[in-house]
């Protein structure tokens, strides 16, 4: 274990688990253009595009007036498979002409899911100097993991493009078979695999869901950052 400073707090850490989007990479810069492309692809297939776009924004927690996502909204917190189900629900309820549920879901899988699965993974804009941060942690003997609601392949591409993949001990993603956040099982799996108990683990995230995940898992320190969609008062 090593004494690691997180702002004013010093913590005896053996492992730091980072969320990805909104924590390692600024959320809006990465996901807003992806989201808008996915919505555009869907509304191009309906006769009432303005209504469907408005319902998609409302359902997924996006405010077009401020161009911000709600910190506790589905798009900011849920895995892509959940987002796809919500999108299909909007198409089923509001899209014209009326589609069956299977047809609505198929349209999302064809038009939106490929876009959501492939953000700018090859040239991500990091929230900080990840190579320096991760190198400092590794030099202090601290293990590093990434726990994300994104897919594993995309996550690894982003880490590779940021030149830090070799510094990360473990990646657990939404398609790895563990219950999604805020369930604690993925954290416990990381801790068991890397042989660091939760009380000596810090979890760093940008949403209330991340913090609840850490609380449920019993980690020793939960760290909130403001590079995601959540406001300070939501995370306090």
Q: What is the CATH number of the domain that holds 186?
A: 3.40.50.1000
Residue 190: the pLDDT is 99
- On whether the CB atoms of residues 172 and 217 are closer than 8 A, the answer is no
**H or E stretch including 52?**
helix 49-60
pTM, two decimal places: 0.83
Asked if residue 216 and residue 157 are part of one domain, the reply reads yes
Instruction: Please tell me the predicted confidence (pLDDT) of residue 130.
Output: 96
Locate 88 and state its tokens: 């299909």
Q: Which of 99, 116, 133 is the last residue of a domain?
A: 116
Q: Tokens standing for 110?
A: 């064809």
Strands 62-63 and 15-18: unpaired
Does residue 119 have a pLDDT over 80? no
Query: Are 131 and 18 within one domain?
Result: yes
Give the list of residues 6+ apart from residue 53 with CB closer than 8 angstroms, or none: 39, 43
How many whole angstroms separate alpha carbon 221 and alpha carbon 199? 8
End-to-end CA distance of the chain: 27
Residues 226 and 109 in one domain: no
Based on the fold, state whether residues 174 and 222 are members of the same structural domain. yes
Tokens of residue 234, six digits: 């939501």
Is residue 22 within 8 A of residue 227, CB to CB? The reply is: yes
Same domain flag for 68 and 140: no
Q: pLDDT tens digit string along 101-116?
A: 999 999 999 999 999 8
| More confidently predicted of 12 and 228 | 12
Q: Is the pLDDT higher at 165 or at 27?
A: 165
Structure tokens at 37: 């492309």
Tell me what pLDDT residue 77 has: 87
CA 218 to chain centre: 21
What rounded mean pLDDT belongs to the chain? 93
With beta carbons less than 8 A apart as the criterion, state whether 205 and 214 touch: yes
Question: Do the bridges between strand 143-147 and strand 15-18 make them parallel or antiparallel, or are there none, so unpaired?
Answer: parallel
Range(s) of the domain holding residue 191: 2-25+125-235
Contacts of 198 (CB under 8 A, 6+ apart): 187, 188, 191, 217, 218, 219, 220
Per-residue pLDDT tens for 160-213?
Answer: 989 999 999 999 998 999 999 999 999 999 999 999 999 999 999 999 999 999
78 and 11 within one domain? no
Place of tokens 């053996």: 14
Of 36-45, 61-70, 114-123, 148-157, the range with the lowest mean pLDDT is 114-123
- The residues pairing with 68 across neighbouring beta strands, listed in sequence order, are 63
User: Residue 120's pLDDT band (boundaries 50, 70, 90)?
Assistant: low
> Both 132 and 230 in a single domain?
yes
Of 50, 82, 116, the one marking the end of a domain is: 116
- 192 and 179 housed in the same domain: yes
End-of-domain residue from the set 116, 147, 164: 116
233 or 104, greater pLDDT: 104
pLDDT at position 121:
54
User: Is the pLDDT confidence value at 122 over 80?
Assistant: no
CB 122 within 8 A of CB 161: yes
Tell me, yes or no, whether 219 and 148 share the same domain. yes
Structural domain count, the chain = 2
Same domain flag for 71 and 156: no
Asked if the model's pLDDT at residue 217 lies above 80, the reply is yes
Same domain, 201 and 154: yes
According to the model, what pLDDT value does residue 29 have? Answer: 85
Q: Are 154 and 122 in contact (CB under 8 A)?
A: no
pLDDT value of residue 233: 85
Q: Do residues 60 and 109 both lie within one domain? A: yes
Tens-digit pLDDT profile for residues 71-112: 889 998 888 889 999 999 999 999 999 999 999 999 999 999
CB 49 within 8 Å of CB 43: yes
Mean pLDDT within 113-126: 74
Structure tokens at 67: 């161009």
């Amino acid at each position: 274990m090593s004494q690691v400073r997180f702002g004013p707090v010093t913590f005896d850490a053996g492992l730091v688990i980072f969320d990805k989007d909104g924590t390692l990479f600024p959320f809006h810069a990465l996901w807003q253009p992806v989201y808008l492309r996915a919505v555009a692809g869907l509304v191009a297939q309906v006769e009432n595009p303005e209504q469907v776009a408005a319902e998609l924004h409302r359902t997924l927690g996006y405010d077009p007036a401020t161009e911000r996502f709600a910190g506790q909204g589905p798009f900011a917190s849920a895995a892509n498979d959940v987002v796809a189900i919500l999108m299909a629900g909007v198409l089923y309820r509001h899209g014209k002409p009326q589609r069956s549920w299977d047809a609505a879901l198929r349209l999302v899988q064809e038009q939106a899911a490929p876009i959501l699965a492939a953000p700018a993974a090859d040239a991500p804009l990091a929230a900080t100097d990840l190579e320096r941060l991760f190198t400092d942690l590794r030099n202090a003997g601290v293990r590093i993991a990434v726990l994300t609601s994104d897919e594993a392949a995309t996550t690894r591409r982003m880490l590779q493009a940021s030149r830090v993949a070799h510094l990360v001990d473990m990646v657990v993603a939404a398609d790895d078979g563990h219950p999604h956040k805020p369930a604690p099982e993925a954290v416990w799996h990381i801790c068991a695999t890397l042989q660091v108990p939760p009380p000596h683990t810090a979890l760093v995230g940008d949403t209330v869901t991340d913090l609840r995940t850490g609380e449920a898992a019993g980690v020793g320190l939960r760290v909130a950052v403001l590079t995601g969609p959540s406001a300070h008062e939501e995370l306090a």
